[in-house]
Structures are given as structure tokens and as C-alpha cells.
Structure 1
Amino acid sequence: MTKNIGFLSFGHWSPSPHSGTRSAQETLLQSIDLAVAAEELGVDGAYFRVHHFANQLASPFPLLAAVGAKTSKIEIGTGVIDMRYENPFYMVENAGAADLISGGRLQLGLSRGSPEQVIDGWRYFGYQPQDGQTDADMGRHHGEVFLQLLNGKGFAEPNPRPMFPNPPGQLRLEPHSESLRERIWWGSGSDATARWAAKLGMNLQSSTLKDDETGEAFHVQQGKQIRAYREAWKEAGHTRTPRVSVSRSIFALVNETDRQYFGRGDDRDSVGFIHETRSIFGRSYAAKPKQLIKQLQQDEAIAEADTLLLTVPNQLGVDYNVHVLETILKEIAPELGWR
């Protein structure tokens, strides 16, 4: 299957002398540079993770707008925004502005959130679940409100004596992007939330972590999740074709630097517990190109998805990450029919 291939950066920085990103500023500026270079290579997407209270990328919209202004073709997106922290109304304004700056290239990945650096960090942002709700329920509710607002229907009563003339009827949030609603993704960690996302008409982002629901290999469970999502999409009666992405750490070992960094990687799935839920983490892939091609041919979830996000080690610098992406595009993707 021909695939959209993008990169996903977690945007780490560290003052360590071994880090290529020693400050938040360096990480932000290098993120823009990598997106520009990736577009020149023919990469399809530049995606960024969002974490709060950490030395990582957080507020995504200034970065997305900057990338959008510096590029012209590449998709720009997130994987994912933790909706427990978000004001859906303000987020609609930010997203609309970033999408319009990019010319309609925004692909927003949302989620209920992941393990964080602090206890209940969303409380510091002014949010609290309603009685009987969990923080996950709150995140999904914020997501539903965000989707409703993106439809662009007026809902706010206009002031009879406004500073500027109003259009007739109730007012919506501005700036509004007409097609952004169809470019919203949900980062799902279970089969149930994948089906929920399909019902609401969101694309699916399935990462390298999900609930261990069957005890099978990660890629097998993820493949089943994708098929369950597509079936739920069909049952919901949506008319457009949904998009599905998976993310993977994939490194072709073609020189000594590659082998030094990734030649001893773990090639097995791992299992742990998140909030008392047994979870499975997908393996990384690091091998010589011919061996890597054989390994990737066996990955059921990659085969099912139309979009592959390659997680990049951003602290190794722009030049090295360009090398990682270029090697996969030229030596791996064509052999697998992705290009």
C-alpha cells in the first residue's frame, strides 16, 4: 500500500553537552528546520508530540503556525494534544489560525492524555472532572466540544451595541477553517476508544502503546484495532474515507554512527502498567536495510495503515534526522511498496 510518511518529534531538550538541543529555543527552531528539510526530501508530514511540565514541546500552535509559514506542501500536525488541558473554545481559534496560515495543511491529533510529569496536571490549568467523571471522560468531553465548535455554526448571542458590525444571527468563533473538521484525529489506546473515534468521524492515530487486550504481539493487536475502527466507521455511515496512522521507531543501520546509536536496540514488545491497566509497548526496528525490510513486511498494523509516522531522535540534531528520514525514503519505502 502506498503510504503517507511523516516524522513525529517528541521535542526533547537537555542541558547535557551530548544533546543537540540544549534549550527550548533550540528545540523549537530545529523543529522548524527539520520540517523544512523534510519537505525538501519529499516527506509527507511533520508531527509534534505535546507534553506539559516537561523539557519537551508543549503549546503546539505557535510552532505549527511557524512551520506552516516556512513550508508549502508538507502536512503539519500533532500526535497528540492532551485534551484534559485544553479550553476547546480558545483551541478552535488557535487551530483555525494555524490552519489558515498553512493553507489548510493542519492534521490535528487529539487524545484523552497519557502519563504525565505531575499529579493531575490539568488541575493547574483550571480543569476538573465533573462528579462521576474521570479525567479521561473530561478529556473526551473537551474533544467532543471542540468538534462541535469546528462545524462553524453560530452559538453566541450578539451584543446589540457591538464595537464593530455583526453578521446576522448568532456568532461563531473566528477565524474559521471550513475543512479542518475532517482533519481531526484521535489517538486511541484501546479498541473501544477507536470505535468511539470512528463514530464521531475522527481519523485514527494509533501509537506504539495500547491496552494489552488479547496478549498477542503488539502489531497484531494494533491491526485488529484498526480493523475494528474501520468497521465502526462503516456502521456510522460516514461518506468519506478515513485516515489511519501508526507510529514506529525505525532506523536503517547503514553507517557506523547508526550502529553506535541504535545497533543494540531492543527488538521485542514490552508490557507494563499505566493507571493499573496492563499496556503493551511496540518494539523498535533497527537493522541493516535488507533485514529491516523483512521485519517490516511482517508488521500487520503498518500494512493496515495509510500513514506511517517515524519517531525521530530530535536531540541528535537536524542533519542526523534528515539522514534517518532520507535513508528510509530511498532504501526502505520503495522496497515495501510505500512509495
Structure 2
Amino acid sequence: MKKIGFLSFGHWANHPQYNARTASDTLLQSIDLAVAAEEIGIDGAYFRVHHFAKQLASPFPLLSAIGAKTSKIEIGTGVIDMRYENPLYMVEDAGAADLISGGRLQLGISRGSPEQVIDGWRYFGYEPLEGETDADMGRRKGLEFLEKLDGKGFAQPNPNPMFPNPPGLLRLEPFSSGLRDRIWWGAASNATAIWAAENGLHLQSSTLKEDESGKPFHIQQAEQIRLYKKAWKEAGHAHEPRISVSRSIFALVNDQDRYYFGNESNREDKIGLIEPDKRAIFGRSYAAEPDHLILDLAKDEAIQEADTVLLTIPNTLGVDYNVHVLSAILEHVAPGLGWR
């Protein structure tokens, strides 16, 4: 059994074939898609976060809106780049969104990846400390976010406050109990996955990772997940770990599917660079008739190791078509793989 969610990049463009032509289109359609996905039995609605791009950026207003209009579906990100964040303000935003949703937030965060502009976090007012890299800064801010989510007081109260204070040091409000145990880390390397496990973070592993062995993508990702599970067990955390993998999976059940994704059927892993000195491997897309799709996916070792599969969706094709894409997986593929 696996949880099945969708992952939206939230693109928009003024293109004649796009249903999402403006930021408003994308935001409102994201809410509608989450509502419809819950109705058909999808377990999670997850959204990418990118800055300086015509894609979804500020997640908490969107997550709060979805939380207010749904009742069961998990709501999350994949991932928030912590280099751009004020960890304390983020604790308040996340707490509010989690309370609005009734404790359904599943936040994916990370140290960040190459962005649209050079050192974009500098425009947000952030600089690494002396001796830090920007990646170090992202991890440091991630740990500060986790620490403040615990709800322990840390701020000295004003002796003459506007409103009476409770005794002791003050914490950030609103506080949402349990949210600390629902934070995920997006890891592109084996070492970072181990670090995430040691710090009690669930693991998000996407469709790319550092090429650390030259093996096929799904095998490298499965090895990463096994290292994560081993490190989690050794750390002795009280709560159980969760692991998600992202995949582009399309069941070709009608002519429209074949028109859009028929050329994806023979795709293979690709090798590229995510940074000038970091070789990366990008996982293949899956697109085929349901019977063939089941056979292909059954060989994917990383999917077997994960408890959650996030289906990357073509959000620009509109709500109705994406509901069809998700429904086709639930109806024609998931049962054959034992996911349902």
C-alpha cells in the first residue's frame, strides 16, 4: 500500500494551448485540483516553490486556502528553498496553515538548488555567515526552523507588554502541535539523505539526484533510501520515517493521452549538471498503456522502497485533464502494483 499524491510545478504562460495563462489561473486551479483530487481518493497535494519565475512561489497562502476547502488530503511542498526563508516568520506561517488544515501539512524543505537568478537569496536580504556556503546557510536555517517548531520558549518577555504574558520565555505563535514531525527534506545526495535521517526529517527524493555510482537512476535512488532508513534506525527517533519519490507517470488510455505523452514512452535516464561541478542523473518518464506501465513500474526499485509516490502533473493543461491523469493511475495502474 502506498500513498499517492500529485506534485505541481505551477507553471503559467500566455500560450494558446495553456489553460493556466496567468498567476491567478494557476493559483485558483491549484485549489480546484486539490479539491477534486481529494474527491477521487488522491492522498496528497504537493507544490513546488520557485522564485523569480512564472511558477508557484509563496506556498502558505495557497496551502491555507486548500486547507480551508478540503478535509482529508495531505497538503505539502516539494520543496521550499530555505536559503530564501526567514525561519521564524516561516514557523508562524506554517503553524497558521497547519491549524487551518487541521494538522494536514507535510512540508518539504531543502538547502536549495540552482535558481532562475544568480544568488537569488541575496535579493531577499540573506547572506551566508563567514566561512559558510549557501548550501550551509540553507541547512542552518532549516535546523533553526525545526528548533522553533518545537514550541519551546526562547524570547525574553517585555516587562511592560501591551498584553499580559504567560510565565517564562515566549515561543512563536500560533503553535501547531505535531508539525515538527511532519517536515521533509529534499535530498539530492546520499550524504544529505543520511543527514536528514539523523535530524528526524522525512525524505523527499525527486526525479534527479547526484550521480554517485553511474548506475541507473532508480537503483541509485533505492540505495539512497536504504541508507536513509539505516541512519533513521540508528538515530532512534520516536516517530516512523516516511519516504516519497516523484515520478512522471502517464497511463495512455485515450487518444488525448497519446497525443500529449505518446512520445514519452521510450524515454531513458539522462545525465546532466545541476551545478558546474556536480554531475546529476535525471530519472526517466513513464508513459504507456496501463498493462505495460504496470510491468515497467514494478521494476522501479526506488518506488518499492518508498511509502509515497508523488505524480508530477502537467498543470498547464487544466484541472479537468489533470483529474483524468490522476484517475487513470488510480483506476488502471495502482491496483495492479498493489498500491491500492
**Structure 1 stretches of 4+ moved >6 Å:** none
Instruction: Note the C-alpha offset of 1:83.
Output: 0.4
Task: Say which SS state the counterpart of residue 273 (structure 1) adopts.
Answer: strand
User: Are 1:268 and 2:259 counterparts?
Assistant: no
Residue type matched to 2:22 in 1?
Answer: S
Partner in structure 2 of residue 331 of structure 1: 332
Aligned to 1:82: 81
Counterparts of 1:196-207 in structure 2, within 5 Å, are 196-207=195-206
- For structure 2, list consecutive stretches of 5 or more residues without a partner in the other structure: none
Matched, 1:131 2:130: yes
* Structure 1 gaps, min length 5: none
Does residue 46 (structure 1) correspond to residue 41 (structure 2)? The answer is no
Q: 1:261-297 CA deviation, whole Å, 9 max, x = no partner?
A: 0000152000001212000000000000000000000
- What is the CA–CA distance in structure 1 between the aligned matches of 2:40 and 2:274, rounded to whole Å? 37
Question: CA separation in 2, counterparts of 1:40 and 1:90?
Answer: 33
Is residue 148 from structure 1 mapped to residue 147 from structure 2 by the alignment?
yes
Please list the CA deviations of residues 143-178 of structure 1 after superposition, one character each: whole Å capped at 9, or x if unmatched.
000000000000000000000000000000000001
User: How far apart are the structure 2 equivalents of 1:36 and 1:249?
Assistant: 21
Which residue in the other structure is 1:321 paired with? 322
Q: In 1, distance between residues paired with 2:270 and 2:167?
A: 57
Q: State the SS of the aligned residue for 2:263.
A: coil
Q: Is the 8 A contact 2:48 2:77 kept in 1?
A: yes
User: What secondary structure, in the 3-state scheme, does the structure 1 residue paired with 2:112 have?
Assistant: coil
Per the alignment, residue 189 of structure 2 pairs with 190
The residue correspondences of 1:160-309 to structure 2 (distance < 5 A) are 160-265=159-264, 266-275=266-275, 276-309=277-310
Question: In 1, Cα distance between the equivalents of 2:129 and 2:99?
Answer: 34
- Note if contact 2:218-2:283 (Cα within 8 Å) is conserved in structure 1: yes
TM-score normalised by length of structure 2: 0.99
One-letter amino acid of the counterpart of residue 317, structure 1: G
Q: Measure the CA separation in 1 of the matches of 2:5 and 2:222.
A: 19
Aligned counterparts of 2:15 and 2:249: Cα–Cα separation in 1: 25
Partner of 2:111: 112
Q: Aligned partner of 1:59: which letter?
A: S
C-alpha separation in 2, matches of 1:274 and 1:178: 36
Amino acid at match of 1:220: I
Q: CA RMSD in A?
A: 0.5
SS at match of 1:278: strand
Q: Which residue matches 1:60? A: 59
Matched residues, number: 338
Structure-2 residue corresponding to 1:122: 121
**Whole-angstrom distance in 2 between the partners of 1:240 and 1:157:** 31
Letter in 2 for 1:83: M
CA distance in 2, matches of 1:239, 1:283: 35
TM-score by length of 1: 0.99
Looking at structure 1, the residues matched to 305 and 193 of structure 2 have their Cα atoms a distance apart, in angstroms, of 14
Q: State, as a whole percentage, how many aligned pairs show the same letter.
A: 73
